[in-house]
Structure 1
């Protein structure tokens, strides 16, 4: 590719500079988009309801993580349960707790006020709140307008008055209108229309859970962070605090249920033991009265004492065996679904006690998770596996314990047999008395033991505390977390720049015309000898003796560049053509000729565009006599050479009247005579001919000329012709061809932004640039 003749006059562009200049040339478009997107962002922020974030912190009491501060009551609470933080987080986020909060705060009946552009919640602006008697059965109702009569303490709906603090039958269900405890926290806006809606509890709970975030502070602690977002900080605080309270209530209720079940079990056992004890004491009293027994012989006392001790041991063993049977039946599931958890009192083996406690806690955890999760939940499956692994160990331990207890019982019974044989020598009355007393002692010990355990269970029931401790109650953020002004404005900026860039790229993709100098250099090796800015002058002649405009200076540069093409005193014929019409070839021909004439050069401007002549009208001259008549032999050369009014050195040879066969006329040989004559009379010959497409006039004339200026106009010349320019220069014999880029748009920042245009009157003030730029966009 040949180097461009003017390339040394321009700095080398880096990869980013052409793209930047391309976009900056559309600065009015970006300005409009920035204004529109900025206004849109401002309106969005104006009407978007701000959202605040509420945060609270609690500590879950868990023996596996962090510190458990329940030691103060640990000695009394025999049913203290240890919670896994992960499970408790799921409980806090459960629908069950969320629905309880919705019912407690009456969130199923939101009150709103109509605004000018958007409605807002009237949580603190409404003097009343609506309570449904059966919230779980309400149906969705949308926007029920009402008014509040403060004097009569009434709510009016559709001309029907309803009193406050009373259950009333309304078209929307059984409702109660109550004074709003939150009313008055801000200036009253009750002048606006108020309305309420009814939303099913589960729907409101779904929205609440979706906005709620619960997470552990870290893996090594039991601190749980609760976060909630709401438009109203007061309502958000109430929701978070009530959620924590509901969670604590649920934990206390669960512990109380366990304690109540244990109390019922102990009470049932007490009733049975009391009956047996009463029966034994009655028999003892009746026996002593009937047999008039007051004291027992010392020997009998000794035997009785030994037998009594053994019997007590046997009783303990029997009780332990009975407890083992109950535990075994419970583990094997023989008690049936929902059976009472058996007591482990009397079990002295620490291994079995630990296994049973682990089983009870695991089953309790299973029941709790089952309430909030489906049966195929991975947590339930995991807990079930744990239960299945614990039970075999318990059964093996029971078997071993039973074997040892039976052996011990057998030994005691053998020993008692010996004592019994010794007692045979004691009178039967005394022996009978000893047996009754022994039964009384056994029953009394059991009774005392059960009384003690009942009191312990009652204390645990009364002292049940929640499994969490509040660290920080709900605190609202000082500033809204949504919408974020910076983010919105950044989005507006990205949208403005992105949409502008997209428009430019799509426009460039769909545009089939040449848009820049770089594009010309990409498609052809023909050198570029000049660039001409787009002219806003009303007259086609922009070059004059006192002209100081930018485009006039560019024509002077083009005049200088002719030397690079070899145009001089010996080679003076310069052909000017283009691809299609409207590319400004005649404009370039007139002003280039004028520039040469002002340099005191005698110039002949020849209009050989026999199809659409334009030079005469551009120079304010009539199309009377011209080349077409000369080529037909109707006029002599001297008759068609006209002096112009613009310069004494500028002469025009007009095209003359239109003809039907211009190509044939150009081939009759007379055009060579014309050029020879003009070469002897003028220093420069500027020839304006028809465009290359679709006629052949330029191809006919080019061999007769010394150089060719090919005019390309920005945004007008189709790209396909530039791509074929190298081929044209060879096939159509365009001699010494060079390109002039015409109509370069000066909007924005282009190659003239380096101060090149400083001092020229063509440079417009900023106001005109902006107005014209906006006008082009429209």
Structure 2
């Protein structure tokens, strides 16, 4: 039950804190309004000054190498699926190719994106993609640029003035018409006027290295996949000109398809050359075998052999077929081995789809061809001694050794298979040894003919297949969605900028209000005072006019003291508790001001009130009330002949208000306050007055006030806003815990009641208000 009660209290406290936070922010609504206006103005300027950014998007589907040769596979169903083009590649590889510098460099050069034009429009120069003139330089000059070449062309009467600058070197010259050949710090540049255009306004041209343009544009290109399970690639490009963004993606797809087609045609072309060479060789060998067969038939006078082959002969024929196949493959592996061993073919592509049944060797050949193609692509933009090309050569040599090793292994395996087949054919030949010698010799010659004929036919099929593949120009990337830019720019987003700036302005303003006081050492709000858990007896407002309370008035100052008076009357209802000690931490916190005005507030009720000055080190009450007598509390405590009634004087402000000033400053104030006559005086005061308010010294400086707890009933501790240090609060709590002062309550001086309890002003000002009031009552 107690737990539920505690949770309810915590929820109420949290709710109160939120309300307090709301009102603390609400009172500063002018700050929020000003911050919002400034933020929206800045956002408006940014939105209208910033260059708009457009985004073009396109999507393509990547077709693998097998899918691109379906027509060939249908024509040659007996042949394995074609591997004449590059092997299947992962979609990630194709994405990297689309982002590669070699592809982007071709796009930059073909679209001339390394050159930008700005035409003068009023006081400013605006970038354009359709300038009246174009500037061009040779490739070598652009590749050696050390920075951006700036060219400005303007019309000067009947001539044209042109100035160019690069690395603090400026060249100026004039010419009469277009085309013009001008000398720049980077070399000769040609200016041509486009057909149908006229040169009227000045134009600025900036030319950078193509590779630098690649670095700039690569950051604006985004290549992603629509899904991990598909081969569809999404292309996104951002640019300040939407037509240029679309043209970039169109050219990127075109260059990618062209590059892939060139790679495929290189492999196919090298395969055709290899097949033509083998066809010539096999044709000669086949002619020799056929000539030999013709001569044998003429010699032996044979026209046709028809024999009934036994089961042994049929079996022997099966092994002979296997022998044909093995010898054909062995012949091909020997040729590839010799081809690899020749240094003049070091960077030549190897033939593929040659009929070799070993899949590992075929895969190695495909990988070797792929690395050779990559080297050719690198050599287009780099030199042979470039570390990237050298590393590529190392990989190619390693792959070449692997291919040679694999060819040797395949050849050894085929030799073993051939030996085994020959052993079995010899076995069956021994069983048919009774066959005529002529038949055996004829079969031997016929077998050689069949080997050469089968190999010749296979090479013819491969040549036709390669020719069809070379003629089939199917793009590797098929466009699904053509490049298209939205009419509205993607940046700057005006609504998001307005909302973001407004949010940041409000957040920063709230942060300044809520956390601006973290680094302050002074008390800034009543909440800090209330955190001590010591009762707050009253809040005295800050007013620009200053002044104290006046009888019959209902101002904010009078109402504040009346509320504090009501709180004190509630505490003093019991018995003889009527003596109130007024103190503070340091001088200047308004202790005397509150003492005088609180006493006046009690006097307005008709109560006899005495203000006792016990700040005997710095007495001020006699000055405030214009009491000319020098007799006071110190006189009474040091002279036994002076009576309590001798040190009580009328205030001159109100007939019910009296003053017992401090008197002369003694040499031993601390010891003086410890005398027994102090209790006697306060016993007399309690008999004669309804309330006694003691204006004492600050407790943070001296210990005199702590001696007064024996003659007072309550303690009002004054804290002044933006004046009292925060660490004082912990000292007050310690004084209350130790019981050095009686029933401590706090009084907050200098609060801004316009902010109620949720926040207080930073300004402070007050006056005792005695002189004006005294004049009124005088």
The bucket for the TM-score relative to the shorter chain is 0.7 to 0.9
Match of 2:49 among 25, 47, 50: 47
Match of 1:240 in 2: 249
Q: Distance in 1 between matches of 2:283 and 2:68?
A: 40
C-alpha contact 1:58 1:470 (8 A) present in aligned 2: yes
Match of 2:135 in 1: 130
Where do residues 257-268 of structure 1 align in structure 2 (5 Å cutoff)? 257-268=266-277
Q: Distance in 2 between matches of 1:688 and 1:422?
A: 144
Q: Distance in 2 between matches of 1:502 and 1:382?
A: 65
Q: Distance in 2 between matches of 1:108 and 1:635?
A: 105
Change (3 A) 1:686 1:391: farther
Q: Distance in 2 between matches of 1:451 and 1:380?
A: 30
SS, match of residue 99 in structure 1: helix
Shift of 1:125: 5.8
Match of 1:650 among 640, 651, 657: 657
Match of 1:159 in 2: 173
Where do residues 733-752 of structure 1 align in structure 2 (5 Å cutoff)? 733-746=740-753, 750-751=757-758
2:639 corresponds to 1:625: no
Match of 1:576 in 2: 582
Change (3 A) 1:360 1:539: closer
Q: Distance in 1 between matches of 2:114 and 2:442?
A: 82
Where do residues 304-343 of structure 1 align in structure 2 (5 Å cutoff)? 321=327, 324-330=330-336, 333-336=340-343, 337-339=346-348, 341-342=350-351
Where do residues 172-571 of structure 1 align in structure 2 (5 Å cutoff)? 172-178=186-192, 194-269=203-278, 300-302=302-304, 321=327, 324-330=330-336, 333-336=340-343, 337-339=346-348, 341-342=350-351, 347=355, 351-352=357-358, 357-368=362-373, 394-395=410-411, 398-399=414-415, 402-403=418-419, 418-419=438-439, 454-485=463-494, 488-489=497-498, 492=501, 495-496=504-505, 499=508, 508-523=517-532, 527-549=534-556, 551-566=557-572, 570-571=576-577
Q: Distance in 2 between matches of 1:544 and 1:169?
A: 96
Change (3 A) 1:439 1:506: closer
Shift of 1:469: 0.6
Shift of 1:220: 2.0
C-alpha contact 1:576 1:709 (8 A) present in aligned 2: yes
User: What's the CA shift string for 1:97-121, capped at 9, x where partnerless?
Assistant: 011111111222233468999976x
SS, match of residue 560 in structure 1: helix
Q: Distance in 1 between matches of 2:747 and 2:46?
A: 50
Change (3 A) 1:260 1:513: same
Shift of 1:250: 0.3
Change (3 A) 1:12 1:271: closer
Shift of 1:255: 1.2
Match of 1:57 among 59, 67, 75: 59
C-alpha contact 1:678 1:685 (8 A) present in aligned 2: yes
2:608 corresponds to 1:594: no
C-alpha contact 1:60 1:83 (8 A) present in aligned 2: no
Change (3 A) 1:363 1:658: same
Match of 1:682 among 663, 679, 689: 689
Shift of 1:656: 5.9
Q: Distance in 1 between matches of 2:366 and 2:271?
A: 14
C-alpha contact 1:567 1:706 (8 A) present in aligned 2: no
Shift of 1:567: 5.7
Q: Distance in 1 between matches of 2:454 and 2:337?
A: 28
Q: Distance in 2 between matches of 1:479 and 1:230?
A: 13
C-alpha contact 1:569 1:684 (8 A) present in aligned 2: no
2:649 corresponds to 1:641: yes
User: What's the CA shift string for 1:599-637, capped at 9, x where partnerless?
Assistant: 23232333443444555666xx43423554854779984
List alignment gaps of at least 5 residues for structure 2: 1-8, 76-81, 164-171, 309-318, 379-387, 765-778
Q: Distance in 2 between matches of 1:236 and 1:169?
A: 32
Shift of 1:299: 6.7
C-alpha contact 2:349 2:372 (8 A) present in aligned 1: no
C-alpha contact 1:138 1:199 (8 A) present in aligned 2: no
Match of 2:771 in 1: none
C-alpha contact 1:366 1:384 (8 A) present in aligned 2: no
Q: Distance in 1 between matches of 2:59 and 2:490?
A: 19
C-alpha contact 2:224 2:235 (8 A) present in aligned 1: yes
Single out whichever of 440-449 and 477-486 deviates more from structure 2. Answer: 440-449
Shift of 1:151: 11
SS, match of residue 562 in structure 2: helix
Change (3 A) 1:198 1:616: farther
SS, match of residue 100 in structure 1: helix
Match of 1:722 in 2: 729
C-alpha contact 1:710 1:737 (8 A) present in aligned 2: yes
SS, match of residue 686 in structure 1: strand
Q: Distance in 2 between matches of 1:154 and 1:322?
A: 76
Change (3 A) 1:319 1:675: closer
C-alpha contact 1:623 1:657 (8 A) present in aligned 2: no
Change (3 A) 1:683 1:119: farther
Where do residues 594-613 of structure 1 align in structure 2 (5 Å cutoff)? 594-613=600-619
Shift of 1:583: 1.6
Shift of 1:224: 0.9
Match of 1:706 among 713, 728, 736: 713
Shift of 1:687: 2.3
Length, aligned pairs only = 703
Q: Distance in 2 between matches of 1:627 and 1:241?
A: 105
Change (3 A) 1:626 1:603: farther
Change (3 A) 1:38 1:674: farther
SS, match of residue 219 in structure 2: helix
C-alpha contact 1:83 1:467 (8 A) present in aligned 2: no
Q: Distance in 1 between matches of 2:449 and 2:401?
A: 46
C-alpha contact 2:525 2:759 (8 A) present in aligned 1: no
SS, match of residue 225 in structure 1: strand
Shift of 1:35: 4.9
Change (3 A) 1:139 1:266: same
Change (3 A) 1:343 1:614: closer
Change (3 A) 1:639 1:606: closer
SS, match of residue 148 in structure 2: strand
2:155 corresponds to 1:146: no
Shift of 1:60: 0.5
Shift of 1:649: 3.1
Change (3 A) 1:386 1:269: closer
SS, match of residue 511 in structure 1: coil
Q: Distance in 1 between matches of 2:217 and 2:288?
A: 62
C-alpha contact 1:604 1:684 (8 A) present in aligned 2: yes
Change (3 A) 1:518 1:342: closer
| TM-score relative to the length of structure 1 | 0.73
Single out whichever of 741-750 and 472-481 deviates more from structure 2. Answer: 741-750
SS, match of residue 546 in structure 2: coil
Q: Distance in 2 between matches of 1:305 and 1:130?
A: 85
SS, match of residue 577 in structure 1: strand
